[in-house]
Chain A
Amino acid sequence: DAEITQSPRHKITETGRQVTLACHQTWNHNNMFWYRQDLGHGLRLIHYSYGVHDTNKGEVSDGYSVSRSNTEDLPLTLESAASSQTSVYFCASSPGSGVGETQYFGPGTRLLVL
């Protein structure tokens, strides 16, 4: 069955290290999104992509970057991890066939920055 996966599911890192979170979907969706979820803030959009080689900044993009080299993957990189980036990260995708589409979420990555 088609799905969206994230890895790792849990990660502990140190301040200043570069970290990359993987997101892989097998639905052949054009649109992919990265969110972070924190208590009191709900889901906040970090970066998103409408297709291969397309990337866009979301509302909380500082300190994060993404690249889209193929349809299936949108890795999220924390260039220099900070304690404020401790969070749960969710990847999502949607077909990209028009407006008003559901986004389908991965299981999440729990990141702890010490």
Chain B
Amino acid sequence: GESVGLHLPTLSVQEGDNSIINCAYSNSASDYFIWYKQESGKGPQFIIDIRSNMDKRQGQRVTVLLNKTVKHLSLQIAATQPGDSAVYFCAENPPGAAGNKLTFGGGTRVLVKP
């Protein structure tokens, strides 16, 4: 069936470096994508979203890139900080998913080394 997946289960990053987290999606007609951050013992927290009519969207220290040609989504975190250590996962809103049902990927753990 349709799914959202991630390339890397764990990403180790030096503090201050940039992080790139990747996500591949299989439904080419999905029109909305979200990145969530989940810290240990907490619920997923919205980071940034992007619609399919955009290629790039920037937030505070984060950038999401959408490549519809290869069905790839990435999250870039600039100047990674210890507080960025968490599990990150992407979600897509497939077409026909009324009521904003989302399909979630499995997650990538980001470990920030001091």
Interface residues in chain A, defined as those with a beta carbon under 8 Å from any beta carbon in chain B:
31, 33, 40-43, 45, 48, 50, 56, 90, 94, 96, 99-108
Given A42-B89, A42-B107, A100-B31, verify A105-B99 contact (CB < 8 Å).
no
**Please, what's the 1-or-0 string for B19-45, where 1 marks a CB less than 8 Å from any CB in chain A?**
000000000000110101000011111
Interface residues in chain B, defined as those with a beta carbon under 8 Å from any beta carbon in chain A:
31-32, 34, 36, 41-46, 49, 51, 89, 91, 93, 97-102, 104-107
Total contacts A-B at CB 8 Å: 58
CB atoms of B44 and A101 under 8 A apart: no
> Min CB distance, A38 to chain B, in Å?
11
Instruction: List the B side residues contacting A33 at CB < 8 Å.
Output: 101
20 residue pairs from A and B, CB less than 8 Å apart: A31-B100, A41-B106, A42-B106, A43-B44, A43-B89, A50-B99, A56-B99, A90-B44, A94-B99, A96-B100, A99-B32, A99-B93, A100-B49, A101-B32, A103-B91, A103-B102, A105-B43, A107-B42, A107-B43, A108-B42
CB atoms of B104 and A42 under 8 A apart: yes
Supply 18 further A-B pairs (C-beta < 8 A) apart from A99-B97, A103-B34.
A41-B106, A43-B104, A48-B99, A56-B99, A90-B44, A96-B99, A99-B31, A99-B32, A100-B51, A100-B93, A102-B34, A102-B46, A103-B91, A103-B102, A105-B44, A105-B45, A106-B43, A107-B43
CB atoms of B43 and A90 under 8 A apart: yes
Point out the residue from B45, B99, B105 that lies within 8 Å of A42, measured CB to CB: B105
